[in-house]
Structure 1
Amino acid sequence: MAPTVLELHDDGARHIGHAGAASGGGHYLLTIVSERFAGQSRVARHRMVYDALGEMMRREIHALAIDARTPTEHP
């Protein structure tokens, strides 16, 4: 996706004891800025991220909050 900004924060500490945390899946907050999001809906942007992560979304990642923007939308 050639991001100009890519920030990933582990939010797992806030979910200790949660079923997803117990099974090893992490909780993350992702901020990603890419020109490739231009003209795409919020849902389409999220699908692009999910597709890029592939199997990680089914194994290593239990929950992912996504903030996907274009460079002109990013503060």
Structure 2
Amino acid sequence: MCMQQKIEAALAELTPNFLVIDDESYMHSIGENSHFKLVIVSDQFVGQRKVQRHQRVYALLGEIMQQIHGLALHAYTQEEWDAVIAAPESPECQGGGLLDL
């Protein structure tokens, strides 16, 4: 099972209306399957602040987070998603490559 499939399976409990898991490792020098952009839209986020949504996602990902160097997380309610229709672009890598270890 690839990393995207693992992430998707872990987040199934949120019954997402929309879910995109982009491997953005190519933008970084750490290696394959190291950086991901996650856009998730779920009715379960209604009434939750951004930090609560992120905590829920991190809790569901559990040990998977040990295998990820970077996660750009964008969690929306359906109403919020309908208003923005796109998550922000991820920034360019600021360093932290294999040579820095």
Q: 2:44–2:77: 8 Å Cα contact kept in structure 1?
A: yes
* Partner in structure 2 of residue 46 of structure 1: 54
More strand by share: 1
Q: What is the percent sequence identity of the aligned residues? A: 41
- SS of the residue corresponding to residue 19 of structure 2 reads strand
Q: TM-score, normalised by structure 2?
A: 0.64
Corresponding letter in the other structure for 1:10: D
Normalising to structure 1: TM-score of the pair? 0.85
Name stretches of at least 5 consecutive residues in structure 1 with no aligned partner.
none
Larger gyration radius, structure 1 or structure 2: 2
Over 4 Å off, 4+ runs: none
Which residue in 2 is equivalent to 1:69? 76
Instruction: Report the alpha carbon displacement of residue 62 of structure 1 after superposing the two structures with TM.
Output: 1.0
Aligned CA RMSD, in angstroms, stands at 1.3
Structure 2: tracts of 5 or more residues without a match: 1-13, 83-101
Structure with the higher helix share, 1 or 2:
2
- For 1:62, the aligned partner's letter is H
Give 3-state SS (helix, strand or coil) of 1:39's partner.
Answer: coil
Q: Report the Cα distance in structure 1 between the residues aligned to 2:44 and 2:23, rounded to whole angstroms.
A: 25
Per-residue CA deviation, residues 6-62 of structure 1 (Å, 9 max, x unaligned), is 00001101102xxxx25x66100000000000010100000111011000101x211
